Amino acid sequence: MQLKNKFDLKLNLILKLIFTMVFENVSPNINYPMIIDYMALCTNNRESTSNNYNACVFCQKFGFQEPIEIFIDENTATCPHCGLDTVISVSEIPGWDGTYISEIEYAQKKLRILSGLYGLLKPLDIIQPYRLEMGTNVQKIFDNSLYGFWEHEITKSLNNELEINKSNFLLNLSSNEYFKCINSKDINVDIISVKFLINKDGDLKQIGMLSKKCRGAMARFVLKNKITNYKDIKDFNDYGYSFYKKDKNTITFVKD
């Protein structure tokens, strides 16, 4: 089957996800912030969006305090950035603690998430729950792999982000499965990868699930401390790990 463009592929992937949820009995009762939950907070919100940190569901501006001057029906706020009635008071986001505004803003600028369905995501991008790993074999369906489909677009987007942020390195905390969707040779800065190993009787081994938890903890560590020099990553010590060595572009942490 030949697909005309990337929209065709995305549409087919979405249809595949629907098929999976219907015929593989994936529970729809997932505790997940759906679009409708946020949109309900975007109406009749003049009072809640006054003198407060606000966010826009559509253009994803977060934590802005610019005065809102235009209201629909005198009671529904419109975003001063995109003009749409998709503004929500940050204080009304379930579980929100205002002390984390700077961390989330920093993550929105610096953190990018790889996805088999969406490609490259920001932390605040709104998505639907789905099951589609980057390594899923779709060759027979789409005449392409997800790696081949996303490689150019993700690599180009990352280079643009690196230039905008004036970053001098890219910290790779993805799994090997997902990192293969990036053409590392075309990335314009050094790529620093991280390994988490366990010392078992003198043998260094990698435990998959624990490494996954450590990669997430490392991301939080970098964002919370606003690290801009990869040498400062050596101070990471969660889950009993400590810095072991740096070889070329790989930093290794070991847990005894």
- 2 has a pLDDT exceeding 50: no
Residue 206 and residue 133: Cα distance in Å, rounded? Answer: 21
Residue 204 β-bridge partners: 199
pLDDT, position 23: 38
The pLDDT tens digits for 158-210 are 999 999 999 999 999 999 899 999 999 999 999 999 999 999 888 899 888 88
- What is the band of 151 on the pLDDT scale with cuts at 50, 70, 90? very high
Q: Where are the domains of the chain?
A: 35-93, 189-256
Mean pLDDT of 32-53: 71
The pLDDT tens digits for 199-240 are 988 889 988 888 999 999 999 999 889 998 888 999 999 999
Contact 64, 53 (CB under 8 A): yes
Residue 130 and residue 147: Cα distance in Å, rounded? Answer: 18
Cα distances (angstroms) measured from residue 160 to each of 79, 111, 149, 166: 26, 13, 19, 10
- 144 has a pLDDT exceeding 90: no
| This prediction's pTM | 0.68
Question: In this structure, is the dihedral angle defined by the CA atoms of residues 36, 40, 46 and 48, taken in order, positive or negative?
Answer: negative
- 13 has a pLDDT exceeding 90: no
